[in-house]
Structure 1
Amino acid sequence: MNPLNPKKLLLTKWTAVKPVDKQKHFLVSRVIQPEQPTDPIEQVEIEAVFSKAVQVITWRDLQDDSIWRQGWV
């Protein structure tokens, strides 16, 4: 997979490899900024397209091909 830049993840689309509760397609709705501006970005907020459910994950989890695919497949 191509390397990801956490600053450019906002509004990117992702597909869960193993959907849970019919939630398969997700959108990065927010990049969570650290309290200290010098600290690196660690987490993003993803929103399910179907149910609008929101969850917070570490952005590095999106690099795992066994869990996430970039785009809507």
Structure 2
Amino acid sequence: MNQINPKKLLNSKWTAVKSINKEKHFLITKVTFDEEGVVILCVIEAIISNRQIEIDWRDLKNIDLWKQGWK
């Protein structure tokens, strides 16, 4: 399991284990918190196409789906 601090998500780099639309490298471009500091929105952007996708940030903890950094 990837260890993630939600406050450090913004601008972090991720590699998809399985390509998503032939894209593997992504950057977190937007993170929104509620009043209690809980993540309510996380947007990940593909590096090549600049395509943006809203994801559940907890999915990034799954090592079968994501690796931290660009590999």
TM-score clears 0.5: yes
Look up the SS of the partner of 2:11 in the other structure.
Answer: coil
Structure 2 unaligned blocks of 5 or more: none
1:53 aligns with 2:51: yes
What TM-score do the two structures reach when normalised by structure 2? 0.89
Segment of structure 1 superposing worse, 1-10 or 45-54:
1-10
TM (norm. structure 1) is: 0.86
The one-letter amino acid paired with 1:64 is N
Matches within 5 A, 1:1-73: 1-34=1-34, 37-38=35-36, 40-73=38-71
Which 5+ residue runs of structure 1 have no aligned equivalent? none
Q: Deviations over 1:12-57 (max 9, x none)?
A: 00000000222110000010223xx125114310000001000011
User: Which whole-Å CA distance do the structure 1 matches of 2:22 and 2:8 have between them?
Assistant: 27
Which of 1 and 2 has greater Rg?
1
Cα RMSD (Å): 1.4
% identical aligned pairs: 46
